[in-house]
Amino acid sequence: MAWPKKRKLVVVGAAVVLGVVGVYGYTVLARPATTVDPARLATVERGDLARSVVATGRIEPITKVEIKSKANGIIKELKVQVGDRVTVNQVLAELDRDNLAARLRESRAALTGADANLRAALAELAKNKVEAEGPDVAFARRNVERADQLSRDKLISPQNLDDARSAMDQAVNRQAVAKSQLGVSDARVAQARATVAQSQAAVDRTEEELTNATIRSPLNGVVLSRDIEVGSPVSSILNLGSSATLVMVLGDISQVYVKGKVDEADIGLVRLGQPARIKVETFKDRQFEGRVTQIAPMGVEKDNVVNFEVRVSIDNASGELRVNMTSNAEIVLEEHKGTLIVPERAVIYDASHRAFAERVQPDSKTGRERVPITIGVSNGTRTQVVKGLAAGDRIILQ
């Protein structure tokens, strides 16, 4: 009789096992049929998001000056090297002064000769003025009158009367000649004065060239380049203008700028004073702050693309940014702090361009649900969510 009782226990145990298996099977079958690759999952986060455009260019100093000599000559001494800091009026270079000093002595000698010629011309003019007044004419006329009276009184011979008349004629002729020479003497004085002025100008010019033989810095800055060496000939900028010999280039790098190009599609959003973030290859992990200070009014077309030149100024008091460094200036058009952010790939658009996102929903049959969202700005990789999601929601990338 014990056997049937044991058999009854086995049957009951089998029924329990089958019940457990059934419950497990129902649970498995009730799970969502579709699973999501973990690599396609993302989390809604809070953070800062900015809409921006990037202008690529090179670092340039706001103030840059090409140093050229005002005097012709040979470089005798160079006082600075590339990279040296210079101040206003600091001596940068010296030209050989020997030739200039000799020219100055020659000019001064010519001026002395011109002064002597002027004094001689003035003396000649004074003499002609006296002769033109004819002081001996009146004396000769009185001699003629007296001789004529004496001749009538038979006290002198006719020869004596003729001599008196001849002396008067000579005095009158000398007066006429002196009067005619006054104009010539005046012209000679004017010519002598002009020669003196010309000689004085030559002296002044040579003295200035001698002063210009010392080349000085016009600003506080840094020597960016030096284009000559000791013994090199230099030509004067006063003679050749822009073609004159370039001595060196100075720049004030305490204030620098990036001159980049912005596409015409974005230029309408760029404004003066907008903040910008500047990155350079040398400091890949650092960011420099700047502001838009200039926007070109006219675009330049190249390869059927119109770009506008934009200047972003940067405070470089530390001098870390060097001239000609390649840089990217990210001009911030719009910025939101502490906002909800999702990857751009998580946003779905329908035919009406309405935005949706697929949120992980374990209770649904598919394990996901599509929810409408309101989006804000985007930087191309991340998008702001204004409404429809919450921080921490798990979403599916498309």
DSSP E strands, the chain: 41-43, 45-68, 73-78, 85-86, 91-95, 214-216, 221-226, 233-234, 246-263, 275-280, 288-295, 300-302, 305-315, 326-343, 348-349, 355-360, 368-372, 374-378, 382-387, 394-396
3-state secondary structure 174-243: HHHHHHHHHHHHHHHHHHHHHHHHHHHHHHHHHHHHHHHCEEECCCCEEEEEECCCCCCEECCHHHHHHH
- If DSSP codes are grouped into helix, strand and coil, which group holds residue 363? coil
Choose one of 181, 212, 243: the last residue of a domain.
Answer: 212
Q: Return the pLDDT at 34.
A: 53
Q: Return the pLDDT at 153.
A: 64
pLDDT at 194 over 90: yes
Examine residue 3 and state whether it is found in any structural domain, yes or no.
yes
Examine residue 7 and state whether it is found in any structural domain, yes or no.
yes
Task: Kindly state the average pLDDT of the residues 119-134.
Answer: 77
Examine residue 182 and state whether it is found in any structural domain, yes or no.
yes
Q: Return the pLDDT at 51.
A: 80
Gap between the Cα atoms of 76 and 96, Å rounded: 5
Strand-pairing partners, residue 339, are: 47
Examine residue 44 and state whether it is found in any structural domain, yes or no.
no
Examine residue 237 and state whether it is found in any structural domain, yes or no.
no
The residue range of the domain holding 116 is 97-212
pLDDT tens figures, 328-366: 888 888 888 899 999 999 999 988 889 999 998 888 888
Query: Over the Cα atoms of the chain, what is R_g?
Result: 51
Q: Which residue has the tokens 């200047």?
A: 311
Contact 258, 327 (CB under 8 A): yes
pLDDT at 3 over 50: no
- DSSP secondary structure, 141-184, as one string: HHHHHHHHHHHHTT-S-HHHHHHHHHHHHHHHHHHHHHHHHHHH
Q: Return the pLDDT at 135.
A: 64
Task: Kindly state the average pLDDT of the residues 133-150.
Answer: 67
pLDDT at 12 over 70: no
Q: How many CB atoms lie within 10 A of CB 111?
A: 20
Gap between the Cα atoms of 79 and 250, Å rounded: 14
Task: Kindly state the average pLDDT of the residues 107-129.
Answer: 88
Gap between the Cα atoms of 32 and 362, Å rounded: 7
Gap between the Cα atoms of 57 and 257, Å rounded: 9
Query: Which tokens hold the place of 386?
Result: 């204004």
Gap between the Cα atoms of 217 and 360, Å rounded: 69
Q: Return the pLDDT at 57.
A: 87
Q: Which residue has the higher pLDDT, 184 or 235?
A: 235
- Domain total of the chain: 2
Examine residue 67 and state whether it is found in any structural domain, yes or no.
no
Examine residue 353 and state whether it is found in any structural domain, yes or no.
no
pLDDT at 393 over 70: yes
Task: Kindly state the average pLDDT of the residues 109-129.
Answer: 88
Examine residue 189 and state whether it is found in any structural domain, yes or no.
yes
Gap between the Cα atoms of 33 and 358, Å rounded: 16
Gap between the Cα atoms of 355 and 360, Å rounded: 17
pLDDT at 276 over 60: yes
Choose one of 167, 196, 212: the last residue of a domain.
Answer: 212
Choose one of 180, 197, 212: the last residue of a domain.
Answer: 212
Do residue 17 and residue 110 come from a single domain?
no
Gap between the Cα atoms of 326 and 55, Å rounded: 11
Task: Kindly state the average pLDDT of the residues 215-236.
Answer: 92
pLDDT at 35 over 90: no
Q: Return the pLDDT at 183.
A: 73
Query: Which tokens hold the place of 73?
Result: 């000559």
Task: Kindly state the average pLDDT of the residues 373-378.
Answer: 88
Q: Return the pLDDT at 134.
A: 56
Q: Which residue has the higher pLDDT, 2 or 279?
A: 279
Q: Return the pLDDT at 174.
A: 72
pLDDT at 30 over 50: no
The pLDDT-based confidence of 1 (bands split at 50, 70, 90) is: very low
